[in-house]
Amino acid sequence: MKKIELEIVAISHTATQSQNYALVLGEMKGVRRLPIVIGGFEAQSIAVAMERMSPPRPLTHDLMRNVLSTFEVELKEVIISNLLDGVFYARLVCIRNGEVVEIDSRTSDALALAVRFDCPIYSYEFILEAAGVVLETHGEEEAPRRQQRKGKEEPSLSEYELDNLKEKLDEVLKNENYEEAARIRDEISRRESGN
């Protein structure tokens, strides 16, 4: 079966399932998107790795990356290999001593490791046919983005002074709230660049 390469284009809070997030994968050479519902912990772990943040202690997926690296196991690629009754299945394709080994994985865990190993993510045509959606563009290029949480009213960061934002960033990092930390960091960067 021909593999189709995907990339993570968005992570957003789901309006219908308050504990879950929607992770959206997009075709590298196409307009289809593959939305996958994942848990809050996995969404946070993926967002932390994508934002290149360094938590004070390793998250579970950081630990897994460290273990694989220590034992000289390379994560070559992640394949979203099946879709049964609305559940996605994934495999980690690893190489150790020149031998290819495939390991069954939850899709969310596989994606969290793919981001950490900077390895490609693939799926198959039948999965994109069954669960993919076509992105309609209106002349604007879609850029990967992180969407804000829906539901609760988020405080406006524009009301904070720059020094207060930096203090708030330190506070949320100590509490390991990486989604909020990324939002604050983006606001600080926007102000410091003058945009």
The yes-or-no verdict on residue 154 having pLDDT over 60 is no
- DSSP state letter for 195: -
pLDDT at 184: 80
pLDDT higher than threshold 90 for residue 164: no
In the chain, % of residues over pLDDT 90: 51
Return the pLDDT at 147: 32
Higher pLDDT, 148 or 98: 98
Structure pTM? 0.69
Confidence bin at 180 (pLDDT 50/70/90): confident
Four-way CATH pick for 3-146: 3.10.690.10, 3.30.360.10, 1.10.340.30, 3.20.20.70 = 3.10.690.10
Q: What is the pLDDT of residues 101-117, one digit of tens each?
A: 999 999 999 999 999 99
Residue 154: count other Cβ atoms within 10 Å of its Cβ: 11
Q: Which residue carries 């190993």 as its tokens? A: 117
Report which secondary-structure segment, H or E, holds 99. Answer: strand 99-106
Q: Reduced to 3 states, what is the DSSP secondary structure of residue 3?
A: strand
136 pLDDT band (50/70/90 cuts)? low
Q: Which residue has the tokens 């969290």?
A: 112
Selected residue with higher pLDDT from 177 and 164: 164
Contact 21, 112 (CB under 8 A): no
Query: What integer pLDDT is reported at residue 149 of this predicted model?
Result: 32
Would you state the structure tokens that stand for residue 13, as one six-digit string? Answer: 């809070």
- Please state whether beta strands 99-106 and 74-84 pair in parallel, antiparallel, or not at all (unpaired): unpaired
Query: CA 9, CA 180: separation in Å to the nearest integer?
Result: 19
For the chain, the domains span 3-146, 157-193
Q: Which helix (H) or strand (E) holds 38?
A: strand 32-39
Strands 32-39 and 20-27: antiparallel
pLDDT tens string 54-108: 888 889 999 999 999 999 999 999 999 999 998 999 999 999 999 999 999 999 9
